Amino acid sequence: MDRCERILAGDVRTASRLIRDLEDGFPEALSVISDLYPHTGHAHVVGITGSPGAGKSTLVDGLIESLRRQGMSIGVLAVDPTSPFTGGAILGDRIRMQRHTEDPEVFVRSLATRGALGGLSRVVGDGIHVLDSMGKDIVVVETVGCGQQEVDIMNHAHTIILVLVPGMGDSVQVIKAGVMEIADIFVINKADRDGADVLFNEVSMMLDMAFHAEQGWRPPVIKIGSVLEPITFMQGIEELVTGITKHRRYLAASNGLRERMRRKALYEIKDSLEERILEPIYDKLLENNLMEDMVSRVVDRKSDPHTLSEEIAKRYLNI
Amino acid sequence: MDRCERILAGDVRTASRLIRDLEDGFPEALSVISDLYPHTGHAHVVGITGSPGAGKSTLVDGLIESLRRQGMSIGVLAVDPTSPFTGGAILGDRIRMQRHTEDPEVFVRSLATRGALGGLSRVVGDGIHVLDSMGKDIVVVETVGCGQQEVDIMNHAHTIILVLVPGMGDSVQVIKAGVMEIADIFVINKADRDGADVLFNEVSMMLDMAFHAEQGWRPPVIKIGSVLEPITFMQGIEELVTGITKHRRYLAASNGLRERMRRKALYEIKDSLEERILEPIYDKLLENNLMEDMVSRVVDRKSDPHTLSEEIAKRYLNI
Mean pLDDT computed over A93-116: 67
Q: How far is A1 from chain B (nearest CA, A)?
A: 22
Q: Is the pLDDT of residue A273 over 60?
A: yes
Listed by start position, the domains of chain A span 3-254
Phi-psi region of B116 (alpha: psi -120 to 50; beta: other; left: phi over 0): beta
Contact A273 B173 (CB under 8 A): no
Q: Which residue of B has its CA nearest to A301?
A: B38
Weakest mean pLDDT among A201-210, B247-256, B283-292: A201-210
- Shortest distance between the Cα of A69 and any Cα of chain B, in A, equals 31
- pLDDT (tens digit, 9 = 90+) per residue, B102-135? 777 888 888 865 544 457 788 899 999 999 999 9
Question: What is the per-residue pLDDT across A125-177, written as a single tens digit (0 to 9) for each?
Answer: 999 999 999 999 999 999 875 566 777 888 899 999 998 888 765 344 444 45
Which pLDDT does position B93 carry in this prediction?
A: 44
DSSP, res B43: S
A271 touches chain B (CB under 8 A): yes
Q: What is the pLDDT of residue B174?
A: 42
**Are B301 and A31 in contact (CB < 8 Å)?**
no
Of A247, A188, A244, nearest in space to A215 by CA: A247
The A residues from 16 to 35 touching B (CB cutoff 8 Å) are: 30-31, 33-34
| CB distance A192 to A199 below 8 Å | no
Specify the pTM: 0.79
- Percentage of the residues of chain A whose pLDDT score is greater than 70: 82
Q: In this model, does residue B85 exceed pLDDT 60?
A: no
CB-based contacts of B252, cutoff 8 Å, min separation 6:
none
CB B281 within 8 A of CB A244: no
Q: Which of A93-102, B48-57, B163-172, B281-290 has the lowest mean pLDDT?
A: A93-102
Distances A107 to A77, A103, A270, B43, B213 between C-alpha atoms, Å: 8, 8, 28, 51, 43
Element (H, E) at B307: helix B305-316
* Bond from prior residue into B230 cis (ω within 30 degrees of 0): yes
pLDDT of residue B170: 39
Please confirm whether the linkage preceding A27 is cis (ω < 30° from 0): no
Query: Average pLDDT of A199-218?
Result: 82
Residue B57's pLDDT band (cuts 50, 70, 90): confident
Least confident stretch, A76-80, A294-298, B223-227: B223-227
Average pLDDT along chain B:
83
Please state the separation of Cα A14 from the chain's center in Å: 21
Residues 153-212 of B with CB under 8 A from A: 167-171, 173-175, 177-178, 180-181, 206, 210
- What's the CA gap between A260 and B168, in Å, rounded? 34
B3-260: CATH architecture: 3-Layer(aba) Sandwich (3.40)
Least confident of A54-58, B232-236, B301-305: B232-236
CATH hierarchy code of domain A3-254: 3.40.50.300
For the segment B141-200, what is each residue's pLDDT rounded down to a tens digit?
A: 998 755 667 778 888 999 999 988 887 653 444 444 567 778 899 999 988 888 889 889
Mean of per-residue pLDDT scores for chain A: 83
Greater confidence (B202 vs A249) lies with: A249
Q: Torsion over CA of A265, A144, B45 and B111, rounded to 10 degrees?
A: 50
Angle at A300 between CA B241 and CA B48, to 5 degrees: 25
Q: Which of A125, A269, A312 is closest, CB to CB, to B295?
A: A269
